[in-house]
Copies of this chain bind each other. A is one copy, B any other.
Amino acid sequence: MRQTNRRIVLAARPVGEPKPSDFRLEEVPIPEPGPGQLLLRTLWLSLDPYMRGRMSDAKSYAKPVEIGEVMTGGTVSEVVRSHDPTFAPGDIVLGMTGWQEYAVAEAGGLRKLDPSAAPVSTALGVLGMPGMTAYTGLLNIGQPKPGETLVVAAAAGPVGSLVGQIGKMKGCRVVGIAGGAEKCRYLLDELGFDAAIDHRAPDFPERLREACTKGIDIYFENVGGAVWDAVFPLLNEFARIPVCGLIANYNMTELPPGPDRTPQLFRAILTKRLTLRGFIVWDFAAQTKEFVTEVGQWLREGRIKYREDIVEGLENAPDAFIGLLKGRNFGKLLVRVAS
């Protein structure tokens, strides 16, 4: 066992795009678990777009990471020492222990994983927070019906890819939006989407329109920005828009130039009777068991697929996270902190 804990703390609040100097790698002593606590060794660290929000001190649904504090993040870890009777050394657990190699955690915040049921990394992806985000947002807010057109942005990512696959199971025509030809091919060839549109194409709005000849009934919003602008005129009456993420806006330092299009949006909400509803996954925490059961079943039956994008070593987390905000990842972005 190493004698030091490497961890990545927030060094500075980013202005616009985060840069490497906004993070700092530290070496500190491995902490000691107190009564009822456990010492954990991180195996997998999840990198997710929401972390950009935590780096900022703008008011949001969760409190920001403080300067000098370890970056927040979901993890899969091995129990090294346990002062709690329900966990034993060697157990694999899901927690929120952040960007570090070792962590002390309360037993109450951990969930034991069964490595024989599914690869443990899936607890951070398709069977974890991103998967449940897709499942609850699409089913509760999107309410897909057979024959409807579902458009999902960031469609090759862990949320979007599951949104699209569930949409197919519910009988929707599914149109995925992703960055680049390789991701688009994946959506069509591997995931069975009906159409895949590259948002980097110069004629992206026209291509989206051609793919949505019957308009859009559900738009699962992960992105905002130019993708929203292309979707907006295609929305049908009674369209539902689960607002899950706005990755194109996260690095925005000021509002875009005018005119102010807010009245245009309100007019469409009224005349088309749109529903826009924001959510975060924990709003639907009561559906956790249903999600794990149903998506776990689909996974075992081979009805859904997932893809992981694995980065080796904690020290590479900042660069991978910066890339995530630019769409550089292809699948669920994970850092293998230890094997």
Contacts and interface: CB of A to CB of B under 8 A. Distances in A.
B260 A261 contact: yes
A272 B279 CA distance: 8
Interface string A236-260: 0100000111100100101111111
Interface in A149-181: none
A60 interface: yes
A246 to B, nearest CB: 6
B255 A260 contact: yes
A213 interface: no
A88 interface: no
A60 B256 CA distance: 28
Copies in the complex: 2
A273 B62 CA distance: 12
B257 A270 contact: no
Interface string A260-274: 111111111111111
A83 B267 CA distance: 42
A280 to B, nearest CB: 7
A15 interface: no
Contacts of A53: 271
Contact of A258 (B61, B258, B265, B271): B258
6 tightest A-B contacts by CB?
A258-B258, A255-B259, A269-B278, A270-B278, A275-B277, A273-B278
A207 B243 CA distance: 31
B262 A262 contact: yes
A59 B260 CA distance: 20
A283 interface: yes
B267 A265 contact: no
A201 interface: no
Interface string A66-100: 00000000000000000000000000000000000
Contacts of A225: 263
A224 interface: yes
Contact of A270 (B246, B264, B274): B246
Given A269-B277, A275-B277, A256 B258 contact: yes
Contacts of A338: none
B278 A277 contact: no
A299 to B, nearest CB: 28
Contacts of A264: 255
A188 interface: no
Contacts of A268: 278
B243 A269 contact: yes
Interface string A271-294: 111111111100100000000000
Contact of A224 (B61, B246, B266): B266
B265 A262 contact: yes
Contacts of A252: 263
A13 B295 CA distance: 55
Tell me which of A224, A249, A259, A278 has the highest count of chain B C-beta atoms within 10 A of its own C-beta: A278
A71 B146 CA distance: 40
A76 to B, nearest CB: 27
Contacts of A259: 254-258, 260
B276 A276 contact: yes
